């Protein structure tokens, strides 16, 4: 199905890492009726306000990129907020979209929905077949509930809503806060600061051996538009690159990109998280989509963006 560029498209979370990339991609494709609201303008945890917003704008397409997100430390320390906030955001948004019968909705989840010890690469059919990674199980349960809501709406109301599960994301507008960031932006910040202060050593959390897959957020945004036009199934669909690296290899890439020449060591007393998390992207590939930004280029452009945000201050 082709999405008419004149469609009213609501990108929830349009200022975040994912939402801002999706908005850029839609603008590049000629979409001229994009709507959005900052969290100050619309708190999606507020059910009445969310219903009123959707009733006013009546979008043809909703892309749910709004979520409370964070890295392993934030997920470990604030599971209550990660569960409660995300459940309220997506339930309110989908209930409001259903009330106005939004024709097309894309719910974005996360690869953390899959069992900690799922067979690699992880197929979509692995969902609900084993225990979750304890450090982010609250967030994962919320996202699994979102998938179930999409499937329930399809089954009960026949609306062609879909859900996609991206792998680890990075890129412009990422969160570089040391207390709540994901691994790649955290490494960019730490190695930048280490290089700026001539620090002799950077210590990685855990053993450095877990393997992770990284997708540039601009590639995800391109995949979102592709899925809206080419995918209509109840099952979630994985979005990734199909290859992974160890955390140690990632750290070494970031260090080379930044020009840090000190020692990289590990702290095995800190948690590793899931040993490996590589998505099987064969279903997405069969739809004719593939990523276009390799990891080295993506890290370099993301670091350039980060430097730009610092305003040249060292």
Active site residue 306: no
Which is the catalytic residue, given 10, 114, 117, 139? Answer: 139
Does the annotation place 246 within a ligand binding site? Answer: no
274 marked as part of a ligand binding site? no
Q: What is the rounded distance in angstroms from the CA atom of residue 284 to the CA atom of residue 214?
A: 16
Asked whether residue 167 is marked as a ligand-binding residue, the answer is yes
226 in a labelled binding site: no
How far apart, in Å, do the first and last CA atoms of the chain sit? Answer: 49
Q: Is 266 left (phi over 0), alpha (psi -120 to 50) or beta?
A: beta
Dig out the tokens for 181 from the structure: 């960031």
Check if the beta carbon of residue 167 is closer than 8 Å to that of residue 236. Answer: no
212 is in an annotated binding site: yes
Q: Ramachandran region of residue 117, left (φ > 0), alpha (ψ -120 to 50) or beta?
A: alpha
270 annotated to bind ligand: no
Distance CA 184, CA 180 (A): 12
Report whether 182 belongs to an annotated binding site: yes
Q: Is 169 annotated as a binding residue?
A: yes
What number of other Cβ atoms are within 10 A of residue 187's Cβ? Answer: 25
Q: Is 205 annotated as a binding residue?
A: yes
Annotated binding-site residues for NADP(+) read 13-19, 108-111, 143, 166-169, 182
Catalytic sites, residue numbers: 139
Annotated binding-site residues for substrate read 190, 205, 212, 272
Annotated binding-site residues read 13-19, 108-111, 143, 166-169, 182, 190, 205, 212, 272
């Amino acid at each position: 199905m082709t999405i008419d560029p004149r469609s009213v498209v609501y990108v929830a979370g349009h200022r975040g890492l994912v939402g801002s990339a999706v908005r850029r991609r839609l603008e590049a494709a000629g979409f001229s009726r994009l709507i959005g609201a900052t969290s100050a303008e619309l708190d999606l945890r507020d059910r009445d306000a969310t219903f009123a917003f959707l009733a006013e704008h009546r979008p043809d397409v909703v892309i749910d990129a709004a979520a409370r997100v964070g890295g392993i430390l934030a997920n470990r320390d604030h599971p209550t907020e990660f569960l409660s906030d995300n459940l309220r955001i997506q339930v309110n948004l989908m209930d409001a979209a259903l009330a106005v019968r939004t024709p097309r909705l894309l719910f974005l989840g996360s690869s953390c929905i899959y069992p900690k010890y799922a067979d690699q690469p992880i197929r979509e059919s692995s969902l609900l077949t084993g225990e979750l990674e304890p450090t982010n199980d609250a967030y994962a349960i919320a996202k699994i509930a979102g998938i179930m809501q999409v499937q329930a709406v399809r089954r009960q109301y026949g609306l062609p809503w879909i859900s996609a599960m991206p792998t680890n994301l990075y890129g412009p507008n990422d969160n570089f806060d040391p207390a709540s960031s994901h691994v790649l932006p955290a490494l960019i910040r730490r190695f930048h600061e280490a290089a700026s202060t001539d620090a002799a050593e950077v210590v990685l959390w855990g053993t450095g051996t877990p393997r992770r897959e990284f997708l540039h957020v601009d590639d995800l945004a391109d995949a979102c538009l592709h899925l809206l036009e080419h995918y209509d199934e109840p099952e979630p669909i994985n979005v990734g690159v199909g290859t992974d690296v160890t955390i140690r290899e990632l750290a070494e890439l970031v260090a080379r990109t930044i020009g840090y020449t000190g020692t990289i060591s590990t702290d095995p007393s800190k948690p590793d998280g899931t040993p490996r998390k590589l998505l099987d992207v064969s279903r997405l590939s069969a739809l004719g989509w593939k990523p276009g930004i390799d990891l080295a280029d993506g890290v370099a452009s993301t670091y350039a963006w980060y430097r730009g945000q610092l305003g040249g201050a060292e």
